[in-house]
Amino acid sequence: MTLAQQPTQPIEAYLADLRTQLAPLPLAEREEILREISAHIRDSVETGAPVHTVLAGLGTPAQLAAEYRDGELIRAASRSLSPIKLLRATLRLATKGVTGIVVFFAAIFGYAFGVGLFLTGILKAIFPAYTGVWVANGHLVNAGTQGFIPQSPTHEILGGWYMPLAFFIGASLTLLTTLAIRAFLRLSQRVQRSL
């Protein structure tokens, strides 16, 4: 049965619902997706597949639109340097599998540790006696283990070098986390396209 011989009302209703579900996407992208899906439906029906089978194979308009919105979020994040966008994209991937969960928590750890180190560099400038790395009895200690105020026989081992090292390592870790997430998102896009 060709397209002319099958009812077109379910196709029109499906595409109208899909257009509504795709509303958050830019107009040009939304129209491109609708042309692509419409052509797929038309081609499938022309080969003899029943309309309801073709539409069921695509999933509901809400499911199909969610896949496209996720793809757009991941594509935009993979080109961004914004930690917020990158974390949103990895959170979305975390809902889809174990690898996404691992990457999301690695991103949280990388950003938290990097920003935390950077902030301790700032705190060293404000509270130099309370921020740093000390040695007591041959062991590294922090201010928290010494009642927040380093007491003798402790001595600070980095001194004035703590600030630049904290800034450098914190900023480097934040940048490396960003680049690693972007690389993972690009890889996940390539894998998705190959499926």
pLDDT tens digits along 129-169: 778 777 777 777 665 444 545 555 567 788 788 899 999 99
pTM of whole model > 0.85?
Answer: no
Statement to judge: residues 154 and 178 lie in one domain: yes
Statement to judge: residues 29 and 91 lie in one domain: no
Statement to judge: residues 186 and 90 lie in one domain: yes
Residue after which a domain boundary falls, among 78, 99, 133: 78
Who has greater pLDDT, 8 or 172?
172
pLDDT at 134: 77
Q: Which of the four pLDDT bands, split at 50, 70 and 90, describes residue 116?
A: very high
Statement to judge: residues 143 and 65 lie in one domain: no
**Range of the structural domain that residue 63 is part of:** 1-78
**Beta bridge mates, 136:** 139
Instruction: Transcribe 38-61 into DSSP letters.
Output: HHHHHHHHHTT--HHHHHHHH--H
Statement to judge: residues 157 and 194 lie in one domain: yes
State pLDDT tens for residues 45-93. Answer: 888 778 888 888 888 888 888 888 888 888 888 888 999 999 999 998 8
Who has greater pLDDT, 154 or 33?
33
pLDDT at 117: 92
Quote the number of domains for the chain.
2
Statement to judge: residues 74 and 101 lie in one domain: no
How would you class 82 by CB atoms within 10 Å of its CB: exposed for 0-12, middle for 13-18, buried for 19 or more?
exposed
Question: Residues near 86 by Cβ (< 8 Å), separated by ≥ 6?
Answer: 77, 80, 107, 178, 181, 182, 185
Who has greater pLDDT, 35 or 159?
35
pLDDT at 193: 66
| pLDDT of 195 above 80 | no
Statement to judge: residues 1 and 65 lie in one domain: yes
Between 106-115, 147-156, 164-173, 179-188, the lowest mean confidence (pLDDT) is in 147-156
Statement to judge: residues 10 and 102 lie in one domain: no
DSSP conformation class of 157: S
Who has greater pLDDT, 6 or 92?
92
Statement to judge: residues 110 and 48 lie in one domain: no
pLDDT at 145: 46
135 backbone dihedrals φ, ψ, rounded to 5°: -120, 130
Report the share of the chain in percent with pLDDT over 70. 87
